Amino acid sequence: MGTTHRITKDFHRLARTIESFSDGQAKVILGDDDEKDRTETFFRFEVDIMPNGGPYQGGSFRFEFCVEKECQWPREPPIIRCLTDIYHPNIDHLDRDDCSNVCVSVLDRDVWSADQCDFETCVQALLFLFYQPNFDDALSPVCCSDEHFQELVQISLKGGTIDGFQFRPNKGRINNILEEIT
């Protein structure tokens, strides 16, 4: 099976099954540029994660998945970047644009297994981070302690300032408030 066919097949499987395996907490986002992105040497798409429990409940977080060289899929993990401001120990929103800003073991090249990992594995790992943040392997310099964690997550979702960083109000939280009002 050709690499381009494999990555397209894996993406379409994810798009078909993401809402069921994530219990409605994740969905693939298709934009105007997606078809263009898939015809180049890289493959890119976005996923929204909307936790239905835990400290991030009510928030909506967008992640970009990028496979820079289709010929490497699935031998190498995708680059995954959180595009939404987030207060999380394992997601560094201040990180560079050319590498993952998410710290979860399955994305490590030494752990990634082409036989056992795919886009679904990545989404499940992201969901896991929302329910089980790992303070022992913190990536974010802003969020590196579990002291007052849940309170600080709520401040960040509302658009507050933490350690000198001003978070933008989370769109999922704003939409939930608007639904309650109407």
Instruction: Give the model confidence (pLDDT) of 153-171 as tens digits.
Output: 999 999 999 989 899 999 8
DSSP structure string for the chain:
--HHHHHHHHHHHHHHHHHHHTTTSEEEE--TTHHHHHHSSSEEEEEEE--SSSTTTT--EEEEEEES-GGGTTTSPPEEEE-S---BTTB-TTS-TTS--B--GGGSTTT--TTT--HHHHHHHHHHHHHS--GGG---SS----TTHHHHHHHHHHT-EETTEEPPPPHHHHHHHHHHH-
Among 103, 117, 143, 144, the active-site one is: 103
Higher-pLDDT residue of 31, 179: 31
Are the CB atoms for 5 and 13 separated by under 8 Å?
no
First-to-last alpha carbon distance for the chain, in angstroms, is 51
pLDDT band (50, 70, 90) for residue 17: very high
pLDDT in tens, 113-144: 999 999 999 999 999 999 999 998 888 878 87
Q: Which fold has domain 3-181?
A: Ubiquitin Conjugating Enzyme (3.10.110)
103 in active site? yes
Q: Per-residue confidence at 176, pLDDT binned at 50, 70, 90?
A: low
Are 100 and 107 within 8 A, CB to CB?
A: yes
Question: For the chain, what are the domain ranges?
Answer: 3-181
pTM: 0.88
pLDDT score for 1:
47
* Averaged pLDDT, 95-114: 84
Spatial separation of the C-alpha atoms in residues 123 and 47, rounded to whole Å = 8
Residue with tokens 């040497």: 41
